[in-house]
């Protein structure tokens, strides 16, 4: 049984009768959405509706997702599920000439639906919101205290950089914003957005540098983990 399954088993035991679970929580902000709403409400609302419909179609099993205005909340018991959902979210926002910034944390999570109302209480969500506000680039970062199973890093050596669920870039562990169907196009969209918003040029240059690193096949996993894999012979076995 792999580490993610072991984690799931322990979470089920920890939930108890009070409805509190230990979950991975991703909080994402759609960049520039508020400005678009203010400048062109009708057109932006149409994009938002299409976006919401696409999210439902791209739903990941065992993942809960909630959208409200320019914020998206994604939770799951397994880290890999959240990564997959956020990676698909990246595809949807880029397709609509948007980008996201966010954070993933792990902690206690409670929710209750009462009619049209959703009640949420979560220390993980509070920490994810705080971390998201500190992120200065278009990326969904994984909190430093979130333990990432080796198997998620090992996928980098059996998949291309556009397929693996997470990347390590410039001292951050982040959700991979690319996929095999949206590799080159992601860079083209970022370049167009940079030309439209030159005041945010540095943020788009960061994204384009990430794309270049992935496109040229860089390892993009933490150096210490790469060294351990090499020392323990894991790389030879996986490759």
Model confidence at 159: pLDDT above 50: yes
pLDDT digits (tens, 9 = 90+) for 42-79: 888 887 887 777 777 767 788 998 888 889 999 999 99
- The residues, ordered by sequence, that sit 6+ positions from 99 with a Cβ below 8 Å of its Cβ are 30, 31, 32, 93, 138, 190, 193, 207
Which stretch of 8-17, 33-42, 157-166, 192-201 has the lowest confidence by average pLDDT?
8-17
pTM summary value = 0.87
Q: What is the CATH number of the domain that holds 88?
A: 3.30.70.1230
- Nearest-angstrom CA–CA distance, 234 and 196: 45
Which range marks the domain in which residue 234 is found? Answer: 3-238
Closest C-alpha among 109, 86, 106 to residue 30: 86
Model confidence at 170: pLDDT above 80: yes
Domain count for the chain, please give it. 1
């Amino acid at each position: 049984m792999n580490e993610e399954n072991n984690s799931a088993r322990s979470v089920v035991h920890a939930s108890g009768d009070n409805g509190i679970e230990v979950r991975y929580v991703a909080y994402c902000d759609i960049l520039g959405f508020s400005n678009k709403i203010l400048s062109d409400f009708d057109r932006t609302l149409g994009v938002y509706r299409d976006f919401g419909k696409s999210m439902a179609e791209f739903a990941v099993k065992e993942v809960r997702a909630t959208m409200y205005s320019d914020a998206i909340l994604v939770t799951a018991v397994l880290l890999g599920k959240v990564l997959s959902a956020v990676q698909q979210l990246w595809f949807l926002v880029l397709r609509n000439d948007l980008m996201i910034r966010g954070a993933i944390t792990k902690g206690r999570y409670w929710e209750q639906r009462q009619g049209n109302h959703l009640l949420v209480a979560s220390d993980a969500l509070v920490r994810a919101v705080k971390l998201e506000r500190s992120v200065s680039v278009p990326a969904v970062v994984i909190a430093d205290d979130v333990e990432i199973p080796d198997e998620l890093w090992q996928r980098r050596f059996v998949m291309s950089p556009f397929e693996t669920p997470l990347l390590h870039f410039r001292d951050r562990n982040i959700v991979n914003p690319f996929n095999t169907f949206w590799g080159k196009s992601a860079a083209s969209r970022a370049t167009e957005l940079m030309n439209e918003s030159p005041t945010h040029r540095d943020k788009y240059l960061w994204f384009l540098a990430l794309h270049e690193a992935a496109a040229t096949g860089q390892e993009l996993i933490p150096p210490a983990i790469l060294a351990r894999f090499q020392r323990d012979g894991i790389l030879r076995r996986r490759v």
